Amino acid sequence: VGIRLDEGSIPAAPEVSMRGPGFVGTIMAVLILLLLAGLAGAAQFKGGLLTPTRAAADFSLTAQDGKEFRLSEERGKVVALWFGYTFCPDVCPTTLAELSQARQRLGKDAGRLRVVMVTVDPERDTPARLREYVNAFSGAFTALTGPPDRLAAVRKAYGVVAEKRVVSGTSAAYLIDHSAFVYVVDPAGQLRVMFPFGMSIDDMVHDFKLLLQ
């Protein structure tokens, strides 16, 4: 029986091999299409895509109005997280000004984007100081501080670097080297995209709109 099957398979073999390129080709084509779709999906975002996405680490900190802010209570909104400090004159104001413009350009969806600054300088940044600082950019922004160890835990969860430096040649008591990415959390609470410093406002608006769809 086995021989017959073998024999039977012999004439079938060329048939399979003739059909083969078509069959394999179809699979290849599907794979290529899937790959392209995947690439297209990835390319849809202008910022750095986090794959696989993961749940954004939850945290609870004190907002500029003295109230408690918890990230997990922002479901349904896109949250743009920025880690900075009020003494910073260049990178932080640039980013906040750009996020403010991007938010305005969302029009009626602006309310569905929560921009949150988490201080890397709790020594200087009291809620009152944070309030005055972020209000210069948008009254709708949230600025958070808290106990140093809790802020450090949040930074660690997001891979944010912040190092206090006493530098010579400046009258500043100290400066802080810090990561300059905007971490974007989708309405389901997944950390999806990271904006590098210098990404255009157009690209930010583009990515926010995708996540708000």
Binding span for another protein by CB under 8 A among 15-23, 28-36, 110-118, 194-202: 194-202
**Could you say which of 53, 60, 138, 179 contacts another protein (CB under 8 A)?**
179
Binding span for another protein by CB under 8 A among 2-10, 29-37, 143-151, 171-179: 171-179
**Rounded to an integer, what is the distance from CA 57 to the centroid of its chain?**
12
Q: Which of residues 144-163 bind another protein (CB under 8 A)?
A: 161
Binding span for another protein by CB under 8 A among 1-9, 26-34, 92-100, 147-155: 92-100
**Rounded to an integer, what is the distance from CA 196 to the centroid of its chain?**
10
> Greatest CA separation found in the chain?
93
Q: Shortest Cβ distance from residue 129 to another protein (Å)? A: 4
Residues in a beta bridge with 79: 114, 185
Q: Residue 211 belongs to what H/E stretch?
A: helix 201-212
201 binds another protein (CB under 8 A): no
The answer to whether 55 touches 79, Cβ cutoff 8 Å, is no
173 binds another protein (CB under 8 A): yes
**Could you say which of 94, 187, 201, 206 contacts another protein (CB under 8 A)?**
94
Q: Distance between CA atoms of 120 and 84, rounded to whole angstroms?
A: 5
The answer to whether 59 touches 150, Cβ cutoff 8 Å, is yes
Q: What count of other Cβ atoms lies within 10 Å of the Cβ of residue 17? A: 10
198 binds another protein (CB under 8 A): yes
174 binds another protein (CB under 8 A): yes
Q: What count of other Cβ atoms lies within 10 Å of the Cβ of residue 132? A: 13
Looking up tokens 């990561």 gives 179
196 binds another protein (CB under 8 A): yes
**Could you say which of 88, 102, 144, 154 contacts another protein (CB under 8 A)?**
88
Q: Return residues touching another protein (CB under 8 A).
A: 86-91, 93-94, 97, 123-124, 126, 128-129, 132-133, 135-137, 161, 165, 167, 169-175, 177-181, 196-198
